[in-house]
Structure 1
Amino acid sequence: MHSNRRTFIHHCAGGALGAAAPWALASPAPYPDKTVRIIIPYPAGGATDNLGRLAGQALQQALGQSFIADNKGGAGTTLGTRELARSAPDGYTLGMIDSTFTINPGLLGSRLGYDTLKDFTPICQIASAQFVLVTHPSVAVKDLPGFIAKAKAEPNTLAYGSAGVGSGPHLAGELLAQRAGLQVTHIPYRGGGTVISDLLGGQVQFAFATVPTLAEHIRAGKLHALAVTGNLRAPQLSEVPTFAEAGLPGVDIQPLFGLIGPKDIPAAVVEKISKVLTKSIQDGEMRTRLTAMGFTPVGSTPQAFAQRIREDVAKWAEVIRRGKIQPE
């Protein structure tokens, strides 16, 4: 009796294991096997949104699955970024970031609701951009040394506008002031478009903006370009020197744009996305489109992107601390 009972249990167990084996041993479906969402922490339109959609198109074409943009603007990008931090780490929710992501830790601290360096997985830096320093013609200076001399001779008489406290153009102006020892006035606006309108009208005397934003006004003679950020001259403004060439090294402002995910995404998924984007940026149509839009294509590894994020967080935190900048 006992022997028969043991035999019965053995056969039942074996049958159960045999039935379960195909399911248990089946390989997981290759990533991605469903739609991937890319959270963009801005309303539709604008550089970060455009680049996020461009990245989604490249990934969709290469991987054969839908990558859709999900605009979650608000609260200085923290609304969408906070949602990304709380998403499942399965690779089906990703997020676009720009330099605001690296500025916010120094500006907002614990109010962010997430840890910039611990709660995310950097995947690939897609591109960077260059800022150009421009003046209204009424400032009547020919170059960066002349601007610095005028600003020092007339402290707090030159004003610059930006899209708000803690924005990239604001901190670019603050970094310039710190490096050159200037006293200038910052006027925050609620959007970049109004800044450009007032700059063209002479209500503010100078500003920083990305090269594509101002190139047309510079070529038309409505604004005077003094210097560009970065190590190389901008292709659209090849006659304009870099800050280092103009005699003021250290004004290193190159806005970044890239793709990240929540922490703990499987390494194989991160590597797959990064390799697809990097190949497209380095060899494919995406590179041509980025260049035409005025960006510098990058296509970095996850490790290099993580390092760049750490460096920028530290740099902007120091600029904010030294400038005693408080959020609005």
Structure 2
Amino acid sequence: MGSITRRRLGALGAGFGLATAGPAAAQAWPSRAVALVVPFVPGGSADVIGRPLAQHLSTTFGQSFVVDNRGGANGNVGTHAVTRAEPDGQVLLVTTNGPISTNTLLFRRMPYNPLTNLTPIALLSDLPVILVARRDAPYASLRDMLAYAKANPGKINCGVPATGALGHLAAELLRRRAGIDLTIVPFRGGATAATGLLSGTVEMAIDLVPAYQTHIQAGTVRALGVAATEPLAALPGAEPIASQGLPGFEAIGWTAILGPPGLPAGIVQKVNEAANRFLQKPETRTMLDAVGSRLLGGTPEALARRMQAEVAIWRPVIADARITLE
């Protein structure tokens, strides 16, 4: 993967001032428009929370905060851009956990180290994956599926949104924890995986809750279990996998806001406090509750710990499954 130069970062524009501001600008922050880089195409969970957060930050600080979607390499392209930005607070990152944790385990070569090349600011939200099956599958519960899988090794085709996506890791974790043999089928995105399930290409699928929420509510697919330790208010009929014979089973996606390395403590504190206030707004809670997300918030130190813990959780799963990305 080629390096991303400061010249190429200039696509954010002089208005975002990637390489022009010094310590004085940091003291006066924000003195002009701020870029919130989301390292994925529009529509994902980071984008969903990033846009209302940008509006809240714009109102709070009296300057425009503009979402800049920079997809590529499972989030590495946009994240790498932020690691090379000036530490003046004019470029920040709103991302899911992949580019700042599990990508270090998946990619043969990483252009940055998320634990040293980024400044944690705040956790935002988290969201579990859900295991679903077609209505005509020969099992109606997780326990039935596990019994069927053990009696029919490799017969269940399980769709996941992409190689290395959280749904893929959750499927590998399920295979490992339950001692079953699944045929895991990666698709090119959550929408195509859902189409594959509905059309019969696969009979089971695992992805973040919003990918199948409407299908579950419409009765076109059946929820076998949610990979959280507690039920979700958004899907009251979906039992936790942890309560169905696999105690402690979790596969949680989460979002966070970070900055480039060396971001001044004063800016970190300002953004952290504003992000926590955003999460306390009733409309934010309503938005996240509707898709099964939980509000998080907290300190930069809590985010740093979460990043490190995520690596420890998935390291043995990824190593055992031998998942690698280029």
1:177 to 161, 171, 175: 175
Aligned residue for 2:113, secondary structure, equals coil
Superposition deviation, residue 139 in structure 1: 2.1
Aligned to 2:3: none
Paired letter, 1:153: A
Aligned to 1:108: 107
Per-residue CA shift, 1:128-170, capped at 9, x if unaligned? 1121111112322122111111111111110111222101111
Superposition deviation, residue 44 in structure 1: 2.4
Aligned residue for 2:240, secondary structure, equals coil
Matched, 1:274 2:303: no
Aligned to 1:317: 315
Aligned to 1:18: none
Q: How has the CA–CA distance of structure 1 residues 28 and 182 changed in structure 2, closer, same or farther, with 3 Å as cutoff?
A: closer
1:31 to 20, 23, 29: 29
**Using the alignment, how far apart are the partners of 1:93 and 1:296 within structure 2?**
26
Q: How has the CA–CA distance of structure 1 residues 253 and 81 changed in structure 2, closer, same or farther, with 3 Å as cutoff?
A: same
Aligned residue for 1:305, secondary structure, equals helix
Matched, 1:196 2:194: yes
Count of aligned positions: 302
**Using the alignment, how far apart are the partners of 2:152 and 2:296 within structure 1?**
40
Paired letter, 1:150: Y
Q: How has the CA–CA distance of structure 1 residues 27 and 66 changed in structure 2, closer, same or farther, with 3 Å as cutoff?
A: closer
Q: How has the CA–CA distance of structure 1 residues 155 and 264 changed in structure 2, closer, same or farther, with 3 Å as cutoff?
A: same
Paired letter, 1:278: N
Gaps of 5+ in 2: 1-23
Q: How has the CA–CA distance of structure 1 residues 34 and 202 changed in structure 2, closer, same or farther, with 3 Å as cutoff?
A: same
Superposition deviation, residue 180 in structure 1: 0.5
Aligned to 1:151: 149
Q: Is the contact made by 2:26 and 2:89 (CA closer than 8 Å) also made in structure 1? A: no
Aligned residue for 1:255, secondary structure, equals strand
Paired letter, 1:105: T
Q: How has the CA–CA distance of structure 1 residues 178 and 75 changed in structure 2, closer, same or farther, with 3 Å as cutoff?
A: same
**Using the alignment, how far apart are the partners of 1:64 and 1:118 within structure 2?**
31
Aligned residue for 1:151, secondary structure, equals helix
Aligned to 1:63: 61
Q: How has the CA–CA distance of structure 1 residues 311 and 27 changed in structure 2, closer, same or farther, with 3 Å as cutoff?
A: closer
Aligned residue for 2:202, secondary structure, equals coil
Matched, 1:299 2:268: no
Aligned residue for 1:199, secondary structure, equals helix
Q: How has the CA–CA distance of structure 1 residues 249 and 33 changed in structure 2, closer, same or farther, with 3 Å as cutoff?
A: same
Aligned to 1:73: 71
Superposition deviation, residue 231 in structure 1: 2.3
Aligned to 1:89: 87
Aligned to 2:241: 243
Q: Is the contact made by 1:99 and 1:168 (CA closer than 8 Å) also made in structure 2? A: no
Superposition deviation, residue 320 in structure 1: 0.5
Aligned to 1:99: 97
Superposition deviation, residue 55 in structure 1: 1.4
Per-residue CA shift, 1:220-256, capped at 9, x if unaligned? 2211111112222111211221112112123211100
Paired letter, 1:42: F
1:220 to 208, 218, 221: 218
Gaps of 5+ in 1: 1-25
The TM-score, its normalising length taken from structure 1, stands at: 0.87
Aligned to 2:16: none
Q: Is the contact made by 1:159 and 1:186 (CA closer than 8 Å) also made in structure 2? A: yes
**Using the alignment, how far apart are the partners of 2:115 and 2:25 within structure 1?**
33
Superposition deviation, residue 46 in structure 1: 2.4
Matched, 1:254 2:252: yes
Q: Is the contact made by 2:173 and 2:317 (CA closer than 8 Å) also made in structure 1? A: yes
Superposition deviation, residue 284 in structure 1: 4.7
1:53 to 51, 54, 61: 51
**Using the alignment, how far apart are the partners of 2:60 and 2:159 within structure 1?**
42
Superposition deviation, residue 117 in structure 1: 1.1
Superposition deviation, residue 84 in structure 1: 0.7
Q: Is the contact made by 1:130 and 1:234 (CA closer than 8 Å) also made in structure 2? A: no
**Using the alignment, how far apart are the partners of 2:235 and 2:287 within structure 1?**
18
**Using the alignment, how far apart are the partners of 1:27 and 1:206 within structure 2?**
53
The TM-score, its normalising length taken from structure 2, stands at: 0.88
Aligned residue for 2:36, secondary structure, equals strand
Aligned to 1:125: 123
Paired letter, 1:103: T
